[in-house]
Chains A and B, each alone.
Chain A
Amino acid sequence: MSQKPLRVLGAGVVLGAAAAVAAGSAAYAQEDPIRIGSFLSITGPASFLGDPEQKTLEMYVDRINADGGVLGRQLELVVYDDAGDANEARTFATRLIDDDEVDIIIGGSTTGATMAVVPLVEEAHIPFISLAGAVVIIDPVNAWVFKTPHTDRMACQKIFEDMQARDISSIGMISGTGGFGTSMREQCLEVAGDYGITVVADETYGPRDSDMTPQLTNIRNTDGVEAVLNPGFGQGPAIVTRNFAQLGIDVPLYQSHGVASASFIELAGDAAEGVRLPAAALLVAEDLPADDPQRDVVVTYKTEFEEQWDQPVSTFGGHAYDALFIAVDAMERAGTTQPEALRDAIEQTTGFMGTAGEVNFSPEDHLGLDLSAFRMLEIRGGTWTIAD
C-alpha cells in the first residue's frame, strides 16, 4: 500500500508538498495491530461532539495499549476529521475500509455523517458503532451498524413519564427548527399519545432568533397548558428559559437532553431554577447513590477525562467511551477481529454498563438502552440535582 498512485494524480500540481506528505505518512509498520478506524466532526459546527469523542478515543486507546492491548495485540487508532460534512465522512470511511483496512469503525459524530457511511459498511461488511443520535440509524436495523447514544425518542418518553407522574396531561411545545429540535419535536408528537398527553400548543423558533416572547405568549394564552416542553439545542433554549421567566408563566418548564451542559445554566441564569430535563448519569456522576450500578463507570470516566484534558466531561465523549469498550469487550469474547465473528460478538453484548446506561444488544435492537439510561434532573441552586 503506497501513496504513489495519488501522487501521480496530483503530480506537477501539488509539487513538492505532496511528496513530503506522502513520505511523512509512509507506513510505520507495526506487528499486526488491531486497527480501529474513526471519522469524527473534530472541526466545524459539530466540533462540540467530535472534540471530546476524539480525546476520549485517543486517551483510552493509549491506556489499553499501556496495559498490554487486546488479545495480545496493540490497538492502532486511525482518526480523520470530517468537519461535519457527510460527503467528507463517506470518503474517509472508504479510506478507512479500503486503504487503512481497519477491523472496526467507531465514529460518525452527526446523524448525516453516519447515514452516509451506513451503505458502505453494509456492503464492505465492517462492524460500525455510531456515535450519533437519531433513531433512523438503528431503526430499521442494519446488520453491521450499532450505536451508543440514546435517541431523542427516548428523551421524549422520559419527559412524558415524568409529566405523567406529576398528573400533567396537556402541554405546550416550543421547538427549535434546527436538526435536533425538528427531529425531537416529531418524535415527541409521535409518542405523546402513549402517555395520555395532548399537545395543545405547538410553536417553533429559528436557530438564530433572539426573542421567543411572542411564541411563549401564544402558549400562555392557550387554555389548559399544564407544562411547556422545549426541544432545542444551543442558545435557543436558554433564551426560551429567560423569556419564560420574564413572562411569569407559572407551569413547569421541561428542556431536552440537548442542553445538558454547564453553559446552559450560565446562559439562562436564575431563570433556569426549577427547569427539568432528562440527561445521562454522567452529568451528576458524584451525586449518584453509592449502590447505583452506573456510579462506578461514570465516576471513573469523568475523573480520568477531566484529569487528562483539564476540561469538563461531556456526554458525547461518553458515547465514544461506551463504543470503544463495547468493541474491546466483543473482541475479547470473539477471540478474533475477523469481521463476522466480531459483529456477532457485538450483537451478543449483554449487561454492559456504559456511561449511557446498561447496553443489551440483540438482533432486533442495535441500541440496547432503555429509559433507565436517562435521569430526570432539576436545576436547583444553579446546579443539577436528581429529581427522581
Chain B
Amino acid sequence: MPLPPRRWLDDPRRGGLAALALILAMLPLVLSNRFHFDVAIHVGLAAIAVIGLNLLIGYAGQISLGHAGFFGLGAYGSAVLSGTHGWPPLLALLASALAVATLAFLVGRPILRLRGHYLAMATLGMGLLIFMVITNERAITGGPDGMSVPGLSLFGYALGSRDKGAWYALVAVLLLVAVWLALNLIDSPVGRALRALHASEVAATVGGVDVAQHKLIVFVVSAVYASVAGSLSAHYGGFITPDAVGFLHSIELVTMVVLGGMASTYGAIVGAAVLVALPQFLTAFHDYEPVLLGAILIACMIFLRRGLLPGVLDLVRARRP
C-alpha cells in the first residue's frame, strides 16, 4: 500500500496517540457515576485484549478462536497465585503472562509452520481444553461456580473494586501503553514483515522474511496482551467464572476486532467499546435486545465493510477535496 505523506495528526503514533490520550483524559468529565466508570473500565480491559488479537488477525492474517483461553489463563493464574498462594498481584500477573507466552509458543511453533487456517483449529481446540480443565479442577479453580480474586494492590497501594477513579486511571494508562507498543511493533521491521506475509506468504519468503518466525512472534505477543487483560479484569471484578474462558468469549473478541476494523489499532478500541457498551443501551428494549444487537452488527458489516473506524475514516476522507 503506497503511503501518502502524513500530516502530524494523521500519524497514528503521534496524532492518534495524542487524540486517544486526550479522549481518555476528558472522559471522566462526562462519566457521572460508578456505573459509567465501570462500563468504561470494561471497555478498556476488553480493548487491551482486542488490540493484541488485532495484531494477529489484522496484520498477520491468522485467526485465533481460543484467545479467551489465554485471557482466562491470565485471569485464573492471577486468581490462584495471588489468592490461594498469597503472591503479590503484580508478580502473579507477570508470572501468568510468562506462562501464557510459553504455552502460546509451544502451541504456535509447530502449527504456524503450516499454511492456511490451521491456527484457527488448533486454538479452537486449545481454548476448549483450557475451558474443560478450569471447569473440572474444582479444588484449584472452584469449578463452574467460579472463585473469588483478591483486589489489586500495587506497591502497597490497594485498589478496591469500587475505587473506580483509580481503576479508570490505571486502565487508561495501560491502554495507552498497549496502543503505543502495538503501533511500534507495526511500524518496526517485524510489522512490515507481517504485512508482507499477510499479502503473500510466497512473496514475503522470497523477500527474505522468515514467515513462521514472524507469525510466532505476533501470536505470542497477542497471547500476552490477552493474559494481561485477563489478570486485570480478574482483579477488577473480584470474582471469575469459567464464562471468561469459554468459546463464546473467544468469538466475542474476534467480533470486536472485525467490527472495529481489521488492521486498525484504534478500530480495536472502537470495536470493544461498541460491543461492551451497546448492550447497556439496549436494555431499554428488554426482550428485543439480542435482535437489535444483531441487526446493528449486520448493518455495520454491510455498510462499513472494513470495520467501523476505517469505514468512517474512509467516508470522511472521501468528502475531503
Chain A residues at the B interface, C-beta cutoff of 8 Å = 1-6, 8-10, 12-14, 17-18, 21-22, 24-25, 43, 80-81, 84-88, 90-91, 94-95, 97-99, 111-112, 115-116, 118-120, 123-124, 134, 136, 177-179, 182-183, 186
A5 to B30, CA, bound (A): 5
The verdict on B160 contacting chain A, using a C-beta distance below 8 Å, is yes
B283 and A2: CB pair below 8 A? no
B284 touches A115 (CB 8 A): no
Q: Which of B33, B144, B238, B273 contacts A9 (CB 8 A)?
A: B273
Which chain B positions have C-beta within 8 A of A179? Answer: 143-145
Which of B27, B42, B160, B284 has the most chain A CB atoms inside 10 A of its CB? Answer: B284
Contacts of A136 in B (CB 8 A): 145
Q: Which segment, of B88-96, B179-187, B240-248, faces chain A?
A: B240-248
Check B113 for interface membership: any CB of A closer than 8 A. Answer: no
Query: Cβ of A183: which chain B residues have Cβ within 8 Å of it?
Result: 143, 145
Q: Is the interface of A mostly helix, strand, loop or mixed?
A: helix
Q: Find out whether the CB atom of B241 lies under 8 angstroms from the CB atom of A22.
A: no
Report yes or no: A86 in contact with B240, Cβ–Cβ below 8 A: yes
Are A94's CB and B34's CB within 8 A?
A: yes
B33 near A99 with CB under 8 A, answer yes
CA distance A94 to B41 in the complex (A): 12
Task: Let me know if B289 is at the binding interface, CB within 8 A.
Answer: yes
Whether A10 lies near B278 (C-beta < 8 A) is yes
Interface residues of B (CB under 8 A from A): 27, 30-36, 38-40, 42-43, 136, 138, 143-146, 148, 160-162, 233, 237-241, 243-244, 270, 273-274, 277-285, 289-290, 292, 296, 308, 312
User: What is the number of contacts between chain A and chain B, taking CB atoms within 8 Å?
Assistant: 131
Question: Can you sample 5 A-B contacts with CB below 8 Å?
Answer: A17-B292, A86-B243, A87-B233, A95-B35, A116-B237
Are B240 and A9 neighbours in the complex by a CB distance under 8 Å? no
CA distance A3 to B161 in the complex (A): 23
Q: Which of B145, B161, B312 has a CB less than 8 Å from the CB of A12? A: B312
Asked whether A90 lies within 8 Å of B30 as measured between CB atoms, the reply is no
Q: Which 4 A-B pairs have the closest CB atoms?
A: A179-B144, A25-B284, A98-B34, A99-B35
Which residues of chain A are within 8 angstroms of B240 by Cβ–Cβ distance? 86
A86 to chain B: which residues have CB within 8 Å? 146, 239-241, 243
Which residues of chain A come closer than 8 Å to B148, judged between CB atoms? Answer: 115, 119
On whether the beta carbons of A182 and B285 are closer than 8 Å, the reply is no
- Is there contact, CB below 8 Å, between B239 and A116? yes
Judging by beta carbons under 8 Å apart, are A94 and B35 in contact?
A: yes
Bound-state CA distance A51–B107 (Å) is 42
B121 to chain A, nearest CB (A): 21
The residue that B284 contacts in the complex, of A1, A24, A99, with Cβ under 8 A, is A24
CA distance A10 to B43 in the complex (A): 11
Interface contact B146-A9, CB-CB below 8 Å: no
With the chains together, A97 CA to B34 CA distance in Å?
A: 9
Q: Is the CB of A81 within 8 A of B289?
A: yes
Contact (Cβ within 8 A) A6 B290: no
Q: Are B42 and A91 in contact (CB under 8 A)?
A: yes
Known: A14-B281, A86-B240. A91 touches B274 (CB 8 A): no
Q: Say which residue of A95, A123, A186 sits within 8 Å of B160 (CB atoms).
A: A123
Q: In chain B, what residue has the closest Cβ to A8? A: B30
CB neighbours of A5 from chain B (8 A): 30-32, 36
Q: Write the nearest CB–CB distance from B141 to chain A, whole angstroms.
A: 12
Closest-by-CB residue of A relative to B243 is A85
B93 to chain A, nearest CB (A): 19
Chain B residues within 8 Å of A21, by CB: 281-282, 284-285
A182, B161: Cβ atoms under 8 Å? no
Task: Select from chain A the residue with minimum beta-carbon distance to B27.
Answer: A9
Bound form: Cα–Cα A14–B312 in Å:
12
> A97 CA to B162 CA in the complex, in Å?
11
- B138 — which chain A residues lie within 8 A by C-beta? 182, 186
Chain A residue, CB-CB nearest to B312: A12
A183 to B139, CA, bound (A): 11
* Interface contact B33-A124, CB-CB below 8 Å: no
| Chain B residues within 8 Å of A8, by CB | 30
Q: Tell me whether A90 and B145 are in contact (CB under 8 A).
A: no
Q: In the complex, which residues of chain B have a beta carbon less than 8 angstroms from the beta carbon of A6? A: 36, 39, 277, 280-281
In whole angstroms, how far apart are the Cα atoms of A86 and B143 in the complex?
13
With both chains docked as a complex, state the minimum distance between the C-beta of B282 and any C-beta of chain A, in angstroms. 6
In the assembled complex, which residues on chain B have CB atoms less than 8 Å from the CB atom of A43?
Answer: 290
Interchain CA distance A31-B197 in the complex, whole Å: 64
Minimum C-beta distance from B259 to chain A (A): 10
Q: What residue of chain B has the Cβ atom nearest to residue A180's Cβ? A: B144
Residue of B nearest to A94 (CB): B38
Given the complex of chains A and B, what is the CA–CA distance between A84 and B242 in angstroms?
A: 11
CB proximity of A357 to chain B, nearest CB, Å = 24
Chain A residues, Cβ within 8 Å of B290: 43
User: Which of B42, B146, B162, B280 interacts with A112 by CB under 8 Å?
Assistant: B146
- Residues of B with C-beta under 8 A to A87: 233, 237, 241, 243-244
Question: Which chain A positions have C-beta within 8 A of B283?
Answer: 25, 80-81
Smallest Cβ distance from B229 to chain A, in angstroms?
13
Chain B contacts for A182, CB-based, 8 A: 138, 143-144
* In contact, B145 and A134 (Cβ under 8 angstroms): yes
